[in-house]
Structure formats: structure tokens, C-alpha cells
Amino acid sequence: MGQPGWKGVIEEYRSFLPVDETTPVVTLFEGGTPLVPAPRLSERVGAEVRLKVEGANPTGSFKDRGMTLAISKAVEAGAEAVMCASTGNTAASAAAYAARAGIRCVVVIPEGHVALGKLSQALVHGAEVVPIHGSFDDALAIVRDIEAVGPAVVVNSINPHRVMGQMSGAFEIVDELGDGPEVVCIPVGNGGNITAHWRGYVEYRSMGRARTLPRMFGFQAAGAAPIVEGRVIEEPDTVATAIRIGNPASWYAAAAAASESGGAVEKVTDEEIVRAYRLLAAEEAVFCEAASAASVAGLLKTGAPAGCRVVCVLTGNGLKDPTLAMSHVTVPQAVDATSASVLRALGW
């Protein structure tokens, strides 16, 4: 999206990515997402907080940043099919970019734990969806296993092109602020995105485009916090289904990003996540996913140094999971189709 004339992640950041003039660019003009000031949140925490609204990407999540590169490179290499395990957003993004490229897309998902919006995207874009009686971690193990026999390129974040494309999230933040923020808060599932953002900041500083590096704070859901607890969680559980992961693929890279930056990976409860999710929608008018709100829940829990510049990465769009949204509001009853009835319903 971005400003008029925005050309998508590959064209905007070509010199940082492994592409040349022969690479077929598969793009939906992703990236260029808004960095929205959050005045009420800023007041609450005593810092200058901005929200990177990744739900504004073409398929509604940050996954598109890495998927444009992963699919372009797969097509360049002659792949006719791609495959991923997913809690939903990777599936939706892979399905869309594969449709654009005209190649097959197979997605393996944990049955019953993928939000409706994401599942509908994968199906409508024409992916071959295989739900399993198991978790995301089981699905990823299966996909890795199948890749070894060769029929499809895996486009999970174990594919290095995904992480490279996702560095663009950090590039955009620096381009807009003129330097790195002091603190970044970001949700952690598989750990790919915190790794990508950190590499983005490091890369930008080494090129002289930023002077400072942020401290990276990653947040896992308390029922799915393997990095925080230092052990694989066999049966991860959280309302934030996007980050319902017990054995992250980028475990060590994510932990290293947090510690090298002087930050940390911490956990927030489902209650704290839902509180942040509702607060963002009601007070800042940004409707994000529950998983995305983990970043703000973490900021509210741990605080930030007074006056510093904080960016919370809101990874996906709230419309992805209407079921969750509806379970946290009172659904009004219909009334007669008269002005009097509507006035009565409003108590006016």
C-alpha cells in the first residue's frame, strides 16, 4: 500500500534483497504500512508510542513482506508448488501470492485453531488446505518432512527469504522516524519476525541509514511461552491463536535478537492480551489481532523509559478473527423497524 507510487517491498528495498533484473517479482504492493501515533497509550506509559499497523498489508498481516520475496525466489528457481504450516496468516499470504504467481499452494493447519478470516482467505485464494489433528508444531514438522522428498518449496520463516523480506518492516520505521526508536515491542510465535526486525535495524545501521539500534522486547502468550520458560511446550494454549506455538522454528535467533539488543522475551497472560486488544480498538481506533495486541500488553506490563520512542508492531488485522471479537462484546438484539423502537433501544 503506502504512498501513491509505492512499488512494494522488493522494488522499494531492492538493494537490500537477493534479487536481480532476472528475478520475476511477485508483488501485491505490500509494505508501506502506517506508523500511527498512539496518544492515549503514550499518556498511559509516559513514552512516545507509535503503532506499526501491519494489518494494512494486502492479506492483512506482516507475512506479505516476506512472502513477496519467498514466492518470487521460488518462481525464479522454477518451483511449481509451495507449502507451509500455519496458524493462519502465513497460509493466507502464501495462498494469495501463489495465486498471483499461478503456482500451487499447500497449507497444513491445526484443525480448529485457525481464525475464520484466515481460513477463508486460504480457501478462496485456492490453496489446498490440509487440517491435521495436531498443533502448529506438528504441522511444521510434517511440512519439513515432506520437503525432504521434494515436491514443494517451504515458505515458512525457515525459508531465509521470508526473514529478509520482513526486514523491510524495520526499514520503514527508520525511514519514517529518521532513526531507530529506543524500544520495539513485538509479538513472538515462531520467532521469525523479531529476528527479521532486529536484522533490519542492524543492516540499516551498518549502511549508515540509522545511528541507533532499538532494544527489542518480544512477547509470547503465557500459555505458549517456550522461549521464556526455556522448554518446549507440548500443548500450547492461548486466545491468540496466531502465536499458539510450543516449539518455535527461530527459537535461538529470536532469543539472540532480544538479548543482543539489550531487550528480552517475556510473557503476557490472555487476560492482558485481551485487555490491550480492546484498549487499542476503543482508545486508539486500531483493530488488530489478539496476537498483535501482545506487544501492547507487554508494553503496559513492563513499561518504558520516560519520554522514549516506542514502536509496537501490530502484526495482523482484527478482522481476521471476528469470532474472538464477537465473544468480547455484547451483541445487540434486533428491534422493530421504527424510530420509536430505535430511540427506546438507545434509552433516548
Q: Please state the closest distance from residue 63 (CB atom) to ligand F0G, in A.
A: 6
Number of residues that bind ligand F0G (CB under 6 A): 21
**Residue 88 binds ligand F0G (CB under 6 A):** yes
Please identify, among the stretches 75-83, 190-198, 228-236, 334-342, the one whose residues bind ligand F0G according to the rule CB under 6 A. 190-198
Residues with Cβ within 8 Å of residue 300, at least 6 apart in sequence: 44, 45, 272, 275, 276
With cell 540499516, the residue in question is 204
Please identify, among the stretches 167-175, 181-189, 276-284, 337-345, the one whose residues bind ligand F0G according to the rule CB under 6 A. 181-189
Site string for ligand F0G, 140-179 (x = CB under 6 A): -----------------x----------------------
Report the residue from 68, 193, 238, 247 that binds ligand F0G according to the rule CB under 6 A: 193
What region, left, alpha or beta, does residue 325 occupy, with left being phi > 0 and alpha being psi -120 to 50 degrees? alpha
Radius of gyration of the chain measured on its C-alpha atoms:
20
* Distance in angstroms (rounded) separating the CA atoms of residues 282 and 297: 15
Please identify, among the stretches 33-41, 124-132, 191-199, 269-277, the one whose residues bind ligand F0G according to the rule CB under 6 A. 191-199
What's the chain's length in residues?
348
Nearer to ligand F0G, 41 or 242 (CB): 242
**What are the helix (H) ranges across the chain?**
9-12, 39-45, 63-76, 89-101, 116-124, 136-149, 160-177, 192-206, 226-229, 251-260, 270-283, 290-302, 322-327, 339-346
Alpha-carbon distances, residue 178 vs 170, 208, 304, 325 (angstroms):
12, 11, 20, 36
Report the residue from 57, 59, 61, 121 that binds ligand F0G according to the rule CB under 6 A: 61
Site residues (CB under 6 A) for ligand F0G, limited to 236-275: 242-243
Q: Please state the closest distance from residue 144 (CB atom) to ligand F0G, in A.
A: 14
* Distance in angstroms (rounded) separating the CA atoms of residues 210 and 81: 38
Report the residue from 90, 135, 247, 261 that binds ligand F0G according to the rule CB under 6 A: 90
Please identify, among the stretches 82-90, 97-105, 167-175, 299-307, the one whose residues bind ligand F0G according to the rule CB under 6 A. 82-90
With cell 482508545, the residue in question is 283
Alpha-carbon distances, residue 7 vs 25, 124, 204 (angstroms):
11, 25, 20
Q: Please state the closest distance from residue 268 (CB atom) to ligand F0G, in A.
A: 13
**Residue 316 binds ligand F0G (CB under 6 A):** yes
Report the residue from 227, 239, 257, 291 that binds ligand F0G according to the rule CB under 6 A: 291
Residues forming the site for ligand F0G (CB under 6 A):
61, 86-90, 157, 187-193, 242-243, 289, 291-292, 315-316
